[in-house]
A and B are shown apart, each in its own frame.
Chain A
Amino acid sequence: MTELNSLTIKQAKEGLIKREFSSFDLTEACLAQIEKVDKKINAFIKPIAPTYDDVVSAARKADKLLSSNQDLPLLGIPIAVKDNFSTMGIRTTASSKVLDDYIPPYDATVVKKLKDAGAVLIGKTNMDAWAHGSSTETSDYGSTKNPWNTKHLPGGSSGGSAAAVAADEAIAAIGSETAGSIRQPASWCGVVGLKPTYGRVSRYGVIAMASSLDSPGPITKTVEDSALLLRVLAGTDEFDATTSLPPVGDYTLPVVDNKIKNLKIGISDEYFIDGIDKEVESAVRLSIEKLEKMGAKIVKINLVKPKYATSVYTIIQRSEVSSNLARYDGVRFGKDRKLFGEEAKRRIVLGTYSLSSGYYNQYYNRAAKARSLIVNDFEKAFEKVNVILGPTSPSLPLHAGASENAAMFGEIADILVEPSSIAGLPGINIPIGFSKSMLPIGMQIIGRQFAEDLVLQVAHQYEMATANENWRKKRPNL
């Protein structure tokens, strides 16, 4: 039998309901895997919070509910949560030593929803400090390594969550994306990462990076699990004024193909940028051909060059960061400001500059205007197509150390996910294969606002159609 920790949410639920194993068994299997492999990949912040006793008692509580036939969507499922989500009574650092001692007195809405759904919080995952980065190398708690090859980066900022799922340390994980922080590490770690529409999932309790962009979302082993988690997480929140009114979609996925036929998939040449990794390009083009064979219509579209989105994103994100980090002024939270890392300091300085009087119009205001142009650009595209498809990352997972002395590392690694983030659109990364060097390759599917259901369905159909491809049988060798 497959090891319990390598199960998907769906498989684990079935096993729990049929009493094939308990939540305790499942949780123990994940904890054992963490014990075994996390020294190598450092997906969790150490010392791991919550404690072993806390995790086990949550699993036993779930078992009790299971034995009384309680039906909750995630009952007994061990889930890892990125360390920028506030967890009541459990240290939450956002991977910055500035918050080394900080224990929140409240749960983020996402955490509360997971708990209400019966999930077992197995640990807080590593990330780029304050979510600033795409490598998880800026963490003050050591960098995370790619489970497929520990000499390579897992991506970021949700690198800990993506690595934990890829390494079967958790059944699923929660990440957050500002521009790329879910999709890019999912792509580099070979897992499914969904960035929902901005406002679809509450930000309450998520340590803010760029408030007008931050979107929490699931990182999972399959598209089905992603849909299942989104059903739990999505919805308006009375504690987040930016959560949106449109009712939560039905993310239940059909078992038979009913969506791909005649679906118009937009492909923009601008997304196969100069310098894109050849293996990435050919893998994505091959996937497009597969979709065409499944009945999709491939439509050429022209989108604004992604590099413009990078400029817009950089200004807006740095500006908001400079304001959001102001509260860590050394008066509260117990630690000094000098514990801020290089990247955070760089962002604070740039953001402070771009908001300063005399520069506001030249930078922030202009970026805000350009942002609406990008929004319009996508709207126009979606008049012609149902979804847009492209590579998630222009490169394979880079070598450890690549982000050092590269101030714009993240912006370049995330160039293909920034435009849709700026526009607040939903997008999903799905794994499509491996390079010759055995590093994962991902592809993203982007939909119009609140079209998570369609995005998930297309991804799901692709996943089912390619379920028997050989590369899917590979597991990281740790």
Chain B
Amino acid sequence: MKYTPVIGLEVHVELKTKSKMFCRCSADYFGKKPNTHTCPVCLGLPGALPVPNKKAIEWCIMLGYALNCEIPPFSRFDRKNYFYPDLPKGYQISQYDQPFAVDGEVFIKQEPNSQNKEKKIDVRRVHMEEDTGKLIHEGDLTLIDFNRSGVPLVEIVTEPDFVNPFEVTEYLKSLKQIVRYLGISNADMEKGEMRLEPNISLRKEGEKRPSYKVEVKNINSFKFVERAIEFELARQREILDKGETPVQETRGFIEKTQSTVSQRIKEEASDYRYFPEPDIPPFRWTDEQRNNWKTEVKNLLEEARKNSPKEKANFYVGLGVSNASGASISASKYRTQVFEAVIKENILPKEQLGKFGNFLANKPEEKIDQNLVPNLTKQLINQFKSSTTTADIDDKELDKAIELVLRENETAVSDYKRGKENAIMFLVGQVMHNFPQKIDASKVKASLLAKIK
């Protein structure tokens, strides 16, 4: 039987606001001592009330605009009621039927061999909510750290428009890029700042839509999303082939085995008893407010695209860097920082920038602090200089060496003459071997070519 994959995505992005969503505690919780970033509000103490973080709401709406959403003039928070020990109020403040942004679209690249270059993915909604605390299991004990409780989260939900893992990854890459361009989150997957939940099912030929849906929770890398989807598609295909229907459920992805396992069977949608959050008045946006956000997003994205790796790579190539090196530098924050510093501070003469770029492109990637850049740049420049500084050699000695090499390597010479360009570099190497000190390879190459012709 033929099946078509039906895949949708829910992505949670943690905003990098200074304070939490509904109180003034610092939202920068990662790696901090447990329960040090807390107050009556994010601990859900009796009588505490949420006061919404304006910046977070603006950022959520800006992300909505960046994903080509409509921003309804009226919006509000709702309570999502459920019990879990990491949820101190017994409900999560979220948005139900009046989210900040709806009906967006994103265009993604398609697989190289497909007919169309681009595909439109519909974004159903973008809404704002608060993160929960974190449970830490230690032996028989379960401890709760509320530092994360109340950190602003944006949830982006797509329609089930994806048909393969490639499309999903393309969408995620572009979502991550947009979030970073807007400067609203670092979307660092390892820190849990971007969490992915694909819902996956297979549609039989002739079927309008599948009768079940499998959700895979809390995946923290693009690669694992691909794996999870591949695994699920295969697993579900097997069940369908037997004439059965996969169970509607939530599954977890196990990194070790690269497979998914059942976590919770959902017979029906959970009853979260949503109702309008009475502690926060609803929002009514003016046209002016919405136009301002829209313009700001447009400007931010234009500015960011100018500084995008692609644009940067083109610029580096213009300075004499090879295509491959240009791409390699612009893809790395570290190399970009070093190269930009060298350009900005005129450390090297213009004509050497290309060479330095090619040299830099081959250096191993390093994770560095912004304030270490000047030092590292200095080191690299020194390395580069010593690698290019060559001893002056006597022309006669060079000629002698060349003639010797040409005589001993006739095959290579004839290879070169037949068009095998690489052969010349072999000869250059042979010549250089004749000298104990480092000599200028380009000079050797020029002299060799002159002799061969």
| Contact assessment for B91 and A242 in the assembled complex, using a CB-CB cutoff below 8 Å | no
Query: Is B50 part of the binding interface, using a Cβ–Cβ cutoff of 8 Å?
Result: yes
Pair B85/A331 contact, Cβ less than 8 Å = yes
Q: Mark B16-53, 1 if CB is under 8 A from A, else 0.
A: 00000000000000000000000010001111111110
Which residue on chain A has the smallest CB distance to residue B81? Answer: A323
**Cα of A319 to Cα of B90 in the assembled complex, Å:** 14
Q: Which of B40, B45, B271, B280 contacts A357 (CB 8 A)?
A: B271
Establish whether residues A360 and B46, one from each chain, have CB atoms under 8 Å apart when the complex forms.
no
Min distance, Cβ A19 to any Cβ of chain B, angstroms: 38
Stretch from A39-47, A97-105, A140-148 that touches the partner: A97-105
Quote the shortest CB–CB distance from A140 to chain B (angstroms).
15
Other-chain contact of B279, A85, A94, A211 (Cβ < 8 Å): A211
- Residues of B close to A211: CB separation below 8 A: 278-279
A276 to B227, CA, bound (A): 73
Chain B residues near A352 (CB-CB < 8 A): 273
| Cβ contacts A408-438/B at 8 Å (1 or 0 each) | 0000000000000000000000000000000
Which chain A positions have C-beta within 8 A of B50? 241
Q: Do B45 and A241 touch (CB < 8 A)?
A: no
> Would B90 and A102 count as touching, CB distance under 8 A?
no
Min CB distance A210 to B, Å, is 8
Determine if A204 and B48 form an interchain contact, defined as CB atoms under 8 angstroms apart. Answer: yes
Is the Cβ of A327 less than 8 Å from the Cβ of B89?
yes
Given A104-B47, A204-B47, A355-B273, A242:B279 Cβ within 8 A:
yes
A328-348 interface with B by 8 A CB criterion: 329, 331-332
Contact assessment for A327 and B49 in the assembled complex, using a CB-CB cutoff below 8 Å: no
User: Are A106 and B81 in touch, CB under 8 angstroms?
Assistant: no
Which residues of chain A come closer than 8 Å to B278, judged between CB atoms?
A: 210-212, 242, 320
Chain A neighbourhood of B51, CB < 8 A: 238-241
Q: Is B281 an interface residue (CB 8 A)?
A: yes
- How many residues belonging to B are interface residues under a CB distance threshold of 8 Å? 29
A204 to B271, Cβ gap below 8 A?
no
1/0 per residue A198-232: CB within 8 Å of B? Answer: 00000111111011100000000000000000000
Q: What CA separation (Å) do A239 and B90 show in the bound complex?
A: 20
A108 interface residue, CB < 8 Å from B?
Answer: yes
Contact A327 B88 (CB under 8 A): yes
B275 touches A327 (CB 8 A): no
Chain B contacts with A in 34-90, Cβ cutoff 8 A: 40, 44-52, 79, 81, 83, 85, 88-90
Among residues 69 to 121 in chain B, which have CB atoms less than 8 Å away from a CB atom of chain A?
Answer: 79, 81, 83, 85, 88-91
- Cβ distance A322 to chain B, nearest Cβ, rounded Å: 8
Q: Which of A92, A106, A206, A329 contacts B83 (CB 8 A)?
A: A329
The answer to whether A104 and B49 have CB atoms under 8 Å apart is no
- In the complex, residue of chain A having the shortest beta-carbon distance to the beta carbon of B279: A211
List of A residues within 8 angstroms of B40 by Cβ: 86, 104-106, 205
Among A204, A238, A327, max chain B CB count under 10 A is at: A327
Q: How far is the CB of A353 from chain B (nearest CB, A)?
A: 9
User: Is residue A364 contacting chain B, with contact meaning CB distance below 8 A?
Assistant: yes
Which A residues between 133 and 167 are near B, CB-CB below 8 angstroms?
none
> Which of B45, B81, B83, B89 contacts A105 (CB under 8 A)?
B45
Docked complex: A60-110 residues within 8 A CB-CB of B: 84-86, 92, 94, 99, 102, 104-106, 108
Q: Once bound together, how far apart are the Cα atoms of A242 and B276, in whole Å?
A: 13
Determine which of B47, B52, B88, B269 lies in contact with A208 in the assembled complex, contact meaning CB atoms within 8 Å.
B47
Contacts A241-B49, A327-B89 given; does A360 touch B275 at CB 8 Å = yes
Q: How far is the CA of A242 from the CA of B51 in the complex (A)?
A: 9
> For B52, what are the chain A residues with a Cβ–Cβ distance below 8 Å?
241
CA distance A108 to B49 in the complex (A): 11
Main secondary structure of the interface of A (DSSP, over half): loop
Min C-beta distance of B28 to chain A, whole Å? 22
- Provide the bound-state CA to CA distance between A160 and B291, in Å: 54
Q: Is A323 a contact of B91 with CB atoms below 8 Å?
A: yes
What residues of chain B lie closer than 8 Å to A241, measured between beta carbons? 49-52, 279-281
B81 touches A327 (CB 8 A): no
Which of A99, A212, A364 contacts B46 (CB under 8 A)? A99
CB distance from B270 to the nearest CB of A (A): 9
Task: Report the bound CA distance from A206 to B48 in whole Å.
Answer: 8
Identify the closest chain A residue to B89 (Cβ). A327
Among candidates B46, B90, B269, residue contacting A323 with C-beta atoms closer than 8 Å: B90
Are B279 and A327 interface neighbours, CB within 8 A? no
Residue in contact with B275 in the complex, picked from A99, A238, A319, A326, CB distance below 8 Å:
A319
B85 to chain A, nearest CB (A): 5
Contacts of A239 in B (CB 8 A): 49, 51
Distance in Å: Cβ of B293 to nearest Cβ of chain A: 21
- A108: chain B residues at CB < 8 Å are 47
Q: Is the CB of A323 within 8 A of B79?
A: yes
A356 at the interface (CB under 8 A from B): yes
Nearest B residue to A205, CB-CB? B47
Give which listed residue, A210, A326, A364, contacts B91 with CB less than 8 A: A326
Inter-chain contact A86/B89, CB cutoff 8 Å: no
Residue of B nearest to A86 (CB): B47
The smallest C-beta distance from B305 to any residue of chain A, in angstroms, reads: 37
Within the complex, what minimum Cβ distance (angstroms) separates B50 from chain A? Answer: 7
A356-B271 in contact (CB<8A): yes
Q: Which of A108, A238, A325, A326 has the most CB of B within 10 A?
A: A326
Contact partner, A86, options B46, B274, B281, Cβ 8 Å: B46
Closest to A325 in B: B90
Which residues from chain A contact B45 at a C-beta distance below 8 Å?
86, 104-106
A320, B273: Cα distance in complex, Å = 11
Per the bound structure, the CA–CA distance linking A86 and B278 in Å amounts to 20
**What separation, in Å, do the CA atoms of A204 and B448 have in the docked complex?**
86
Residues of the A chain whose Cβ atoms lie less than 8 Å from the Cβ of B89: 326-327
Most buried by B among A92, A210, A329: A329
Which residue, of B46, B83, B275, has the highest number of chain A Cβ atoms within 10 A?
B46
Q: A86-B47, A242-B49, A327-B88 are in contact. List 9 more A-B contacts (CB 8 A).
A: A86-B45, A102-B46, A104-B47, A105-B40, A323-B91, A326-B81, A326-B91, A357-B269, A364-B275
- Kindly list the 7 A-B residue pairs having the minimum CB-CB distance in the complex, ordered from nearest: A326-B90, A212-B278, A355-B273, A211-B278, A205-B47, A207-B46, A86-B47
Q: List 25 A-B contacts (CB under 8 A).
A: A84-B47, A104-B46, A104-B47, A105-B45, A106-B48, A203-B47, A203-B49, A204-B47, A204-B48, A208-B47, A239-B49, A241-B52, A242-B278, A242-B279, A242-B281, A323-B275, A326-B90, A326-B91, A327-B46, A327-B89, A329-B83, A332-B44, A352-B273, A355-B275, A357-B269
